[in-house]
Amino acid sequence: MAHLSKDKLLLGATFVLVAASAATFGWLAYHNARAPRGPAARVQLGAEPYTPTAGDAPAVKTDTWSLPVAQTRGRDWVYDTFTPPEIFYNARSKHFTVKPPLSAGDELPEEAFGLELVAVRPEPFRLQLIGYVGGEGDWRGTFEKVASGEVFLASAGHRVADLALSIKRLEVTTVAIVLPASMTTRQRVATAVVHDERTGRDVTLTHRARQFTGGVSAFVAVPGATATRELRQGETFKVGDASYTVERIQLAPASVDITKESTTLVQPDRRTLTPREADDAPAPVDSPAT
């Protein structure tokens, strides 16, 4: 019963509040309707006919965007605002190449690079053991100077002054040679231990394989020429009015990054060269013997 009386009390209070609100707003509406009103404003029409007019257009400031600047990777790497270049990945050289947008690329001077990569070779040691003569207790090695191609005979204790090398030991032993898809044979192999006075280390040479330094050399040529030029990483050289700098040499896959600078170029031209066709490529003078 107490709960029921409380609900009735709330319902009654709601009715009283609604009635009071209705009475109040009704009186305000009646009072506003009977309030005196002023005269209505009259519109004065002119005698002249209507003539449409156009306002002056606002002043608009226009700016011309400058051409995009080439990146350090080369003049082809130009990023325009609305016409980006086409970038391709060369799986052989593992490098990206780019085709510039026509709108920006047409403004750049077209100039041939003027250089081709013939081959990339590991750098051979400056002295090679290519054979041997003599007999037990009197062996002599047949040595070759890589730079000049000179061949000479020498035994242990001989010093090659112009190469800063000394032959410490020379021996010929019979070793087992495993031939591919064939049986194992035993052959005589000449081995020479040479002391390198420039590095202070001993180098072991054998007449069955060429010895390399661990460095690499790139052989390049002017298009259409048969003579090659041996280059090493970091080397700078000139061909005519153009200057070339070898930025990077990679052996596998063979490629070389070269930057060209010339007075006719707005930006340095940096390209990644891969070897030209083997049929057209002259062999380097000091290519390793098989």
Higher pLDDT, 34 or 91: 34
Mention every residue, 6+ apart, whose C-beta is less than 8 A from residue 74: 98, 259, 267, 268, 269, 270, 271
- DSSP symbol at 235: -
45, pLDDT greater than 60: yes
Residue type, 9: L
Where in the chain are the domains?
75-107, 109-124+213-290, 126-209
pLDDT at 237 over 80: yes
pTM of the model: 0.49
Query: Three-state secondary structure along 116-184?
Result: EEEEEEEEECCEEEEEEECCCCCCEEEEEECCCCCEEEECCCCEEHHHCEEEEEEEEEEEEEECCCCCE
Q: What confidence tens digit (pLDDT) does each residue in 87-119 have?
A: 766 665 566 767 666 654 455 545 688 888 999
- Give the C-alpha separation, 255 to 275, whole Å: 7
Q: Which residues contact 101 (CB under 8 A, 6 or more apart)?
A: 78, 80, 83, 84, 85
Q: Residue 221 is which amino acid? A: A
CB 160 within 8 A of CB 150: no
3-state secondary structure at position 266: coil
**Cα radius of gyration (the chain):** 46
Whether residue 192 has pLDDT greater than 70: yes
- The dihedral over CA atoms of 67, 70, 71, 74, expressed in degrees to the nearest 10, equals 170
Please name the residue that has the structure tokens 């010093």: 159
19 exposed, middle or buried (CB, 10 Å; 0-12, 13-18, 19+)? exposed
The residue among 256 and 44 whose pLDDT is bigger is: 256
Any idea which architecture 126-209 has in CATH? Answer: Roll (2.30)
Average pLDDT over residues 168-172: 93
Average per-residue pLDDT for the chain: 81
Starting at the edge strand found earlier in the chain, the sheet holding 201-206 runs: 159-160, 165-178, 184-196, 201-206
Per-residue H/E/C for 205-228: EECCECCEEEEEEEEEECCCCCCC
If you average pLDDT over residues 164-168, what whole number do you get? 94
Type of residue numbered 241: D
